[in-house]
């Protein structure tokens, strides 16, 4: 209510060309009544008196220079005769929200300059307004007599005789009783109100707009109905709306499609410019009922410029693919507060589009609100409060005239959409989002735009960060030509909030911190890489034989994943590993003793290796295919690369393929000191799997016997 009063105050003030900019600031307690606050208009004698919420039950006396008097929300019951008699210059009188039922004959005596009288929301009884009680109000332009309804039904109409004296009246707010449906609600007395252009109906019951209802109000241009008024239009109703320009609907009697069809068909025959359905389509609809289509289709050839369908629940009834294109005359479309989850339309000639406060976040992440690929005339788009987290790149495609984009109250963190071709863009509102910084691409795009026009970006109420990562952004802020609106604050790495001003000192401070930070990061990374490399090398070294073993085994055609068992067939009983210098011993003694006499099948590389095969693969195969590997150890063996290779491969075979059974047997042809041997060999010696060559006849017999035993064990 206060808002309405302030608005009214401003409206009237502007009408009367009075400055009220500072009006609200310098109120003081009135000397004549401590329940009221006073304000004297600068440079004049005019007094504003505000006694709202003052618990006043009897109207006090006011100074004669009172110009605006606010008595709303008090306990006044009666306006006695001549109560305001001396207020000959009073312009606005607000008596709304009291306990007034009716008037006395001389209640308003003396108010010859009153412009605006507000009696709204009193328990008014329209029969208690004497016919002549309004005669003194010769200057009245606005009268508000909507009732505070205590009882369900209103039974009397306000007498058109009483109202007929208000020859200056322009705006009327009034209730209409149900019982008078069939009689003249706005009777002949209204024909004297030759300035009446605006009518607001508070409550009504199934008000029928027929050809006659506004017969005596030919100049009616503005018509609005509050939520407590259900209306209905009958064929021919347009004849009583000859001059209607602005039509505000709250409730329709019947929400069925045929009815909306008739309604819009009548309106198209009027000079309608603004049509508003606020909180009209609130209840559930039948399937396939899309209120947009009858409205846009039937008003296609009309003069409609602005259409508002706000605070409805259009979510279900706005199917993207089934919507007609808007009337060619339509310039502004407001679809705010509709719980819309999807919206895309061929925008026609629409210049202003408001989709504020819907649920379009998900939809707009992949699609634009604009349907056809033809260039649109859109200049103004409001997508604020839509829970948007990300937007499609092509959102503003083919809309070269866009001047104003509102994306505030969303959850954007990044500019993912393209504005680089919007050469007319003046204002981009990104306030109250989740931006912490802008990326390089976005900064370049905004800079590009600011070359052509003066261009404002609002980044207020985003939690911007002042850290090493956002340093580029902060530098950009300090030098860009884009007109940036920012809060004074930013958040440091550790979460503390600091002032962004002066930005140069923040930048300098960060630059210092960030250089040490950079060096530290580089040093740490290098350290990490080195440690990793060492680790890997160490691992490779430790497992070098295993790796080689695996590698050669994998290369070998004979490779099989199954570990061989003793039951399994081995091609050879033993693989003899020896150094070339001991060839004679092998070819002569070993083969003779083991193969010829001992029936063992030996693998000897000079004889049994496959020609053409890589030597390493041959070795691996031979070891893998033999039950045992016998190494003939001499100093030369220990020095030879290939011998040691054979020894180590055998070790690996031992460790990984034979379930831990020992397959290596060492034969020492000469005396070798333990310190001359590699560690791995010493381990084997400890396990007793070796024998020394005695080189005397008796010993030799035992020697060969032991070897045979070892090979077959
Ligand atoms: C009413 O206004 C007129 C003109 O502004 C002024 O001359 C007159 O003194 C005012 N009357 C009172 C009672 O303030
Ligand atoms: C008020 O005017 C109406 C219509 O002219 C008339 O019927 C009614 O009697 C009048 N009321 C009084 C109290 O004069
Ligand atoms: C709609 O208009 C048609 C023809 O003008 C009329 O026959 C029908 O009764 C109207 N429907 C409603 C619900 O008023
Ligand atoms: C609009 O008017 C044109 C000609 O003035 C007519 O051809 C067309 O059918 C009308 N469209 C509608 C939807 O009434
Ligand atoms: C759209 O309608 C809403 C009411 O739901 C209003 O607050 C807003 O200002 C309107 N926007 C425009 C651009 O007219
Ligand atoms: C479109 O919006 C702008 C900016 O709010 C406003 O100045 C203009 O009057 C609007 N145009 C229409 C046709 O509503
Ligand atoms: C729009 O798209 C349709 C098909 O999708 C194509 O035929 C038409 O040429 C396009 N128009 C423009 C202006 O790109
Ligand atoms: C953008 O929309 C928000 C919320 O709807 C509103 O508060 C703000 O004033 C709008 N911005 C501009 C520049 O109109
Ligand atoms: C956006 O910011 C709000 C409040 O700052 C936070 O609650 C929300 O989780 C953020 N959303 C995203 C997607 O980061």
- Tell which atom from ligand 1 comes closest to the C-alpha of 89: 1
Considering only CA atoms, which of 427, 409, 483, 418 is closest in space to residue 445?
Answer: 418
Considering only CA atoms, which of 650, 628, 624 is closest in space to residue 637?
Answer: 650
Counting ligands in written order, the one closest to the CA of 335 is 5
- Tell which atom from ligand 1 comes closest to the C-alpha of 44: 5
- Tell which atom from ligand 1 comes closest to the C-alpha of 64: 13
Does 311 sit in the ligand 5 pocket, CB within 6 Å?
Answer: yes
pLDDT for 635-649, tens place per residue? 888 888 888 888 888
Question: Higher confidence at residue 704 or residue 556?
Answer: 704
% the chain with pLDDT above 70: 91
3-class secondary structure per residue, 405-443: EECCCCCCCCCCCCCCCCCCCCEEECCCCCCCCCCHHHH
DSSP summary character for residue 586 = I
Counting ligands in written order, the one closest to the CA of 375 is 7
pLDDT for position 664: 85
Question: Residue 119 in 3-state DSSP?
Answer: coil
What does the alpha-carbon distance between residue 366 and residue 29 come to, in Å, rounded to a whole number? Answer: 59
pLDDT for position 101: 92
DSSP summary character for residue 347 = -
Does 414 sit in the ligand 9 pocket, CB within 6 Å?
Answer: no
In 137-237, the DSSP E strands lie at: 142-145, 171-174, 198-201, 204-209, 222-225, 229-233
Cβ contacts of 420 within 8 Å, gap of 6 or more:
445, 448, 449
Cα 533 to chain center, whole Å?
44
What does the alpha-carbon distance between residue 690 and residue 156 come to, in Å, rounded to a whole number? Answer: 127
pLDDT for 321-338, tens place per residue? 778 899 999 999 999 999
In 637-713, the DSSP E strands lie at: 664-668, 690-692
Does 488 sit in the ligand 7 pocket, CB within 6 Å?
Answer: no
The pLDDT of residue 468 is above 70: yes
pLDDT for 375-430, tens place per residue? 899 999 999 999 999 999 999 999 999 999 999 999 999 999 999 999 999 999 99
Q: Whose CA is nearest to atom 8 of ligand 6?
A: 352
Neighbour count for residue 607 (Cβ, 10 Å): 11
The pLDDT of residue 18 is above 50: no
Q: Whose CA is nearest to atom 14 of ligand 1?
A: 65
Asked whether 484 and 447 are in contact (CB, 8 A), the reply is no
From 208, 253, 262, mutation site for ligand 3 pocket: most ligand atoms within 8 A of C-beta: 262
What does the alpha-carbon distance between residue 708 and residue 713 come to, in Å, rounded to a whole number? Answer: 8
Cβ contacts of 59 within 8 Å, gap of 6 or more:
71, 76, 79, 80, 83, 84
From 7, 227, 309, 310, mutation site for ligand 5 pocket: most ligand atoms within 8 A of C-beta: 310
List helix spans (H) across 133-205.
160-163
Q: Whose CA is nearest to atom 10 of ligand 6?
A: 352
pLDDT for 229-269, tens place per residue? 888 888 999 999 999 999 999 887 765 556 788 889 999 99
Residue 574 — φ and ψ, nearest 5°? -150, 145
From the CA of 69, how far away is ligand 1's center (Å)?
A: 16
> Tokens representing 645?
């290779």
The least confident of 183-192, 358-367, 459-468, 592-601 is 592-601
Does 328 sit in the ligand 4 pocket, CB within 6 Å?
Answer: no
pLDDT for 575-591, tens place per residue? 888 888 888 888 888 88
Highest mean pLDDT among 284-298, 307-321, 329-343, 490-504: 329-343
Counting ligands in written order, the one closest to the CA of 412 is 9
Q: Whose CA is nearest to atom 12 of ligand 6?
A: 332
- Tell which atom from ligand 7 comes closest to the C-alpha of 373: 1
Counting ligands in written order, the one closest to the CA of 305 is 6
Neighbour count for residue 662 (Cβ, 10 Å): 14
From the CA of 44, how far away is ligand 6's center (Å)?
A: 36
Does 437 sit in the ligand 8 pocket, CB within 6 Å?
Answer: no
From 231, 235, 238, mutation site for ligand 3 pocket: most ligand atoms within 8 A of C-beta: 235
Does 397 sit in the ligand 9 pocket, CB within 6 Å?
Answer: no
From the CA of 45, how far away is ligand 1's center (Å)?
A: 8
What does the alpha-carbon distance between residue 361 and residue 371 come to, in Å, rounded to a whole number? Answer: 17
DSSP summary character for residue 392 = -
Reported as half-sphere exposure (CB side, CA atoms, 13 A), residue 588 has a value of 4
DSSP summary character for residue 345 = B
The pLDDT of residue 339 is above 60: yes
Question: Higher confidence at residue 80 or residue 288?
Answer: 80
Does 301 sit in the ligand 4 pocket, CB within 6 Å?
Answer: yes
Does 406 sit in the ligand 5 pocket, CB within 6 Å?
Answer: no
Q: Whose CA is nearest to atom 3 of ligand 4?
A: 301
What does the alpha-carbon distance between residue 40 and residue 488 come to, in Å, rounded to a whole number? Answer: 37
The pLDDT of residue 615 is above 50: yes
Complete DSSP assignment for 212-227? STTTT-TT--EEEE-T
Reported as half-sphere exposure (CB side, CA atoms, 13 A), residue 589 has a value of 17
Does 373 sit in the ligand 7 pocket, CB within 6 Å?
Answer: yes
pLDDT for 526-550, tens place per residue? 999 999 999 999 998 888 888 887 8
Give the H/E segment covering residue 630.
Answer: strand 626-633
Neighbour count for residue 625 (Cβ, 10 Å): 17
The pLDDT of residue 179 is above 80: no
pLDDT for 564-576, tens place per residue? 444 557 888 888 8
Does 599 sit in the ligand 4 pocket, CB within 6 Å?
Answer: no
What does the alpha-carbon distance between residue 181 and residue 155 come to, in Å, rounded to a whole number? Answer: 11
From the CA of 242, how far away is ligand 3's center (Å)?
A: 20
The pLDDT of residue 286 is above 60: no
pLDDT for position 559: 47
From the CA of 344, how far away is ligand 7's center (Å)?
A: 17
pLDDT for position 150: 61
Counting ligands in written order, the one closest to the CA of 302 is 4
Highest mean pLDDT among 9-18, 357-366, 368-377, 545-554: 357-366
From the CA of 413, how far away is ligand 9's center (Å)?
A: 9
Beta bridge partners of 92: 68, 116
Considering only CA atoms, which of 181, 197, 193, 293 is closest in space to residue 229?
Answer: 181
Under the banding of pLDDT at 50, 70 and 90, the label for residue 151 is low
Cα 695 to chain center, whole Å?
92
pLDDT for position 274: 97
Mean of per-residue pLDDT scores for the chain: 86
From the CA of 212, how far away is ligand 9's center (Å)?
A: 57
Counting ligands in written order, the one closest to the CA of 264 is 3
Counting ligands in written order, the one closest to the CA of 128 is 2
Per the listing, tokens 């009777």 go with 187
The pLDDT of residue 16 is above 50: no
Neighbour count for residue 602 (Cβ, 10 Å): 20
Q: What Å distances lie between residue 534 and 1, 372, 520, 539, CA to CA?
A: 78, 62, 21, 9
pLDDT for 51-87, tens place per residue? 999 899 999 999 999 999 999 999 999 999 999 999 9
From 43, 65, 66, mutation site for ligand 1 pocket: most ligand atoms within 8 A of C-beta: 65
Residue 564 — φ and ψ, nearest 5°? -70, 150
Question: Higher confidence at residue 709 or residue 456?
Answer: 456
Q: Whose CA is nearest to atom 4 of ligand 6?
A: 380
Under the banding of pLDDT at 50, 70 and 90, the label for residue 475 is very high
The pLDDT of residue 25 is above 90: no
Question: Higher confidence at residue 622 or residue 67?
Answer: 67
The pLDDT of residue 24 is above 80: no
Reported as half-sphere exposure (CB side, CA atoms, 13 A), residue 23 has a value of 19
Task: Report, as an integer, the average pLDDT of 30-37.
Answer: 89
Q: Whose CA is nearest to atom 1 of ligand 7?
A: 373
What does the alpha-carbon distance between residue 355 and residue 320 come to, in Å, rounded to a whole number? Answer: 14
Neighbour count for residue 42 (Cβ, 10 Å): 13
From the CA of 508, how far away is ligand 9's center (Å)?
A: 30
The pLDDT of residue 29 is above 60: yes
Counting ligands in written order, the one closest to the CA of 373 is 7
Q: What Å distances lie between residue 411 and 111, 361, 362, 367, CA to CA?
A: 55, 9, 12, 17
Does 161 sit in the ligand 2 pocket, CB within 6 Å?
Answer: yes
Per the listing, tokens 């009288």 go with 117
What does the alpha-carbon distance between residue 299 and residue 42 come to, in Å, rounded to a whole number? Answer: 49
Beta bridge partners of 574: 602, 628
From the CA of 79, how far away is ligand 6's center (Å)?
A: 44
pLDDT for position 9: 42
The least confident of 89-93, 216-220, 227-231, 367-371 is 227-231
Considering only CA atoms, which of 458, 383, 368, 380 is closest in space to residue 424?
Answer: 380
Cβ contacts of 46 within 8 Å, gap of 6 or more:
18, 40, 65, 67, 68, 89
> Tokens representing 705?
């016997």
Considering only CA atoms, which of 72, 77, 78 is closest in space to residue 92?
Answer: 72
- Tell which atom from ligand 3 comes closest to the C-alpha of 261: 1
DSSP summary character for residue 491 = E
What does the alpha-carbon distance between residue 669 and residue 263 come to, in Å, rounded to a whole number? Answer: 117
Considering only CA atoms, which of 393, 383, 391, 384 is closest in space to residue 421?
Answer: 393
- Radius of gyration of the chain from its Cα atoms, rounded to whole angstroms: 49
pLDDT for position 494: 87
Under the banding of pLDDT at 50, 70 and 90, the label for residue 47 is very high
From the CA of 263, how far away is ligand 3's center (Å)?
A: 9
The pLDDT of residue 556 is above 80: no
Q: Which CATH fold would you assign to the domain 572-712? A: Rossmann fold (3.40.50)
From the CA of 131, how far away is ligand 2's center (Å)?
A: 6
Give the H/E segment covering residue 465.
Answer: strand 465-466
Q: Whose CA is nearest to atom 9 of ligand 7?
A: 373
From the CA of 421, how far away is ligand 7's center (Å)?
A: 20
DSSP summary character for residue 681 = H
From the CA of 371, how far away is ligand 7's center (Å)?
A: 11
Cα 604 to chain center, whole Å?
77
pLDDT for position 19: 36
Does 115 sit in the ligand 5 pocket, CB within 6 Å?
Answer: no
% the chain with pLDDT above 90: 50
Largest pairwise CA distance in the chain: 156
Asked whether 94 and 126 are in contact (CB, 8 A), the reply is no
> Tokens representing 161?
């005789």
Cβ contacts of 186 within 8 Å, gap of 6 or more:
160, 213, 214, 215, 216, 217
């Amino acid at each position: 209510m206060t808002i309405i009063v302030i608005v009214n105050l401003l409206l009237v003030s502007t009408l009367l060309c009075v400055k009220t900019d500072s009006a609200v600031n310098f109120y003081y307690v009135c000397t004549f009544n401590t329940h009221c606050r006073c304000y004297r208009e600068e440079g004049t004698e005019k007094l504003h008196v505000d006694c709202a919420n003052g618990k006043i039950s009897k109207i006090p006396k006011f100074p004669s220079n009172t110009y605006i008097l606010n008595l709303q929300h008090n306990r006044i019951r009666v306006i006695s005769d001549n109560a305001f008699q001396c207020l000959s210059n009073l312009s606005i009188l607000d008596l709304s929200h009291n306990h007034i039922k009716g008037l006395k004959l001389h209640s308003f005596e003396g108010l010859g300059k009153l412009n605006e009288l507000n009696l709204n929301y009193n328990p008014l009884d329209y029969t208690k307004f004497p016919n002549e009680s309004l005669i003194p109000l010769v200057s009245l332009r606005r009268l508000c007599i909507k009732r505070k309804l205590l009882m369900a039904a209103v039974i009397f109409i306000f007498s058109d005789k009483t109202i007929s004296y208000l020859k200056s009246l322009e705006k009327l707010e009034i209730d209409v009783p149900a019982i008078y449906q069939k009689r003249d609600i706005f009777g002949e007395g209204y024909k004297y109100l030759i300035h009446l252009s605006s009518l607001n109906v508070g409550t009504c019951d199934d008000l029928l707009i027929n050809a006659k209802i506004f017969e005596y109000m030919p100049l009616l241009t503005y018509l609005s109905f509050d939520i407590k008024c259900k209306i209905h239009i009958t064929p021919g109703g347009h004849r009583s709306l000859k001059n209607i320009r602005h039509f505000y609907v709250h409730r329709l009697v019947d929400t069925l499609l045929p009815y909306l069809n008739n309604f819009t068909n009548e309106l198209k025959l009027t000079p309608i410019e603004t049509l508003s359905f606020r909180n009209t389509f609130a209840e559930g609809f039948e399937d396939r009922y899309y209120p947009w289509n009858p409205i846009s289709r039937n008003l296609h050839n009309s003069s409609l410029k602005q259409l508002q369908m706000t605070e409805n629940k259009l979510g279900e009834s706005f199917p993207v693919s089934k919507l007609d294109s808007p009337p060619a005359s339509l310039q502004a479309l407001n679809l705010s507060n509709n719980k819309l989850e999807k919206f895309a339309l061929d925008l026609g000639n629409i210049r202003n589009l408001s989709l504020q406060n819907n649920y379009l976040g998900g939809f707009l992440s992949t699609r634009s609100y604009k349907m056809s690929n033809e260039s649109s005339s859109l200049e103004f788009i409001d997508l604020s409060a839509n829970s948007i987290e990300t937007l499609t790149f092509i959102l503003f495609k083919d809309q070269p005239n866009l001047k104003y984009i509102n994306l505030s109250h969303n959850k954007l963190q990044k500019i993912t959409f393209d504005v680089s071709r919007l050469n007319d863009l003046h204002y981009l509102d990104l306030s109250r989002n989740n931006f912490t910084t802008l990326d390089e691409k976005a900064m370049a795009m905004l800079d590009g735009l600011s070359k052509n026009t003066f261009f404002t970006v609002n980044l207020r109420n985003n939690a911007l960060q002042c850290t090493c990562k956002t340093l580029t952004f902060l530098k950009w802020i300090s030098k860009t030509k884009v007109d940036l609106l920012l809060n004074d604050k930013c958040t440091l790495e550790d979460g503390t909030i600091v002032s962004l001003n002066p930005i140069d000192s923040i930048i300098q401070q960060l630059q210092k911190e960030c250089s040490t930070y950079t060096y530290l990061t580089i040093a740490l990374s290098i350290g990490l890489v080195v440690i990793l490399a060492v680790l890997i090398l160490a691992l490779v070294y430790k497992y070098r034989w295993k790796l080689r073993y695996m590698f050669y085994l994998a290369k070998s055609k004979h490779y099989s994943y199954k570990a061989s068992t003793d039951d399994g067939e081995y091609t050879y009983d033993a693989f003899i590993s020896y150094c070339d210098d001991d060839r004679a011993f092998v070819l002569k003694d070993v083969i003779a003793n083991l193969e010829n006499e001992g029936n063992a099948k030996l693998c000897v590389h000079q004889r049994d290796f496959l020609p053409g095969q890589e030597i390493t693969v041959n070795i691996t195969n031979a070891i893998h295919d033999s039950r045992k590997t016998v190494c003939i150890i001499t100093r030369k063996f220990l020095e030879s690369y290939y011998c040691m290779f054979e020894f180590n491969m055998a070790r690996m075979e031992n460790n990984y393929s034979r379930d831990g059974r020992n397959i290596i047997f060492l034969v020492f042809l000469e005396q070798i000191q333990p310190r001359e041997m590699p560690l791995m060999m010493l381990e084997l010696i400890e396990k007793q799997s070796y024998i020394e060559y005695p080189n005397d006849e008796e010993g030799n017999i035992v020697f060969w016997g032991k070897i045979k035993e070892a090979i077959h064990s």
